[in-house]
Amino acid sequence: AMVGLLGSLVQLNKAGLLDCILYLSGVSGSTWCMASLYKDPDWSTKLDTVKDKIIKRLNGPEVSWGDIYAKLKKYHKKDNFSLTDVWAVMVITEYVKE
């Protein structure tokens, strides 16, 4: 879904239709793409650069166990920490490498 949304946005940009979009919504994996896009406020004007960054990150090295542990410690401080948080950190770091 992450790669699918990115591909759709690239094609909309090539067709000159990306500028016509007022809102972007998604669920599940497509929100991972959206989160990566929204890190750059001007993503729609430089989609190719943002796309290349996302692809480079996805093909890059895995996140270290130390970084994963640091994320879990951060989430553990919240009042509503649960097994879902552990699962989310493991999945996101494996697939999205953030």
Q: Tell me, yes or no, whether 69 and 47 share the same domain.
A: no
Q: Tell me, yes or no, whether 69 and 42 share the same domain.
A: no
pTM value is 0.65
Is residue 33 within 8 Å of residue 26, measured between CB atoms? yes
The predicted-structure confidence for 26-44, as pLDDT tens digits, reads as follows 888 888 888 888 888 888 8
**CA nearest 57: which of 95, 88, 24, 27?**
95
Q: Tell me, yes or no, whether 20 and 41 share the same domain.
A: yes
Q: Tell me, yes or no, whether 46 and 75 share the same domain.
A: no
Q: Tell me, yes or no, whether 9 and 34 share the same domain.
A: yes
- Non-local CB neighbours of 3 within 8 Å, separated by 6+ positions: 33, 58
Three-state secondary-structure class, residue 60: coil
Predicted local confidence at residue 92, as pLDDT: 81
Q: Tell me, yes or no, whether 8 and 51 share the same domain.
A: yes
Q: Into how many domains does the chain fold? A: 2
Q: Which domain holds residue 37?
A: 2-59
Both structure tokens of 48 = 């190719």
Q: Tell me, yes or no, whether 51 and 28 share the same domain.
A: yes
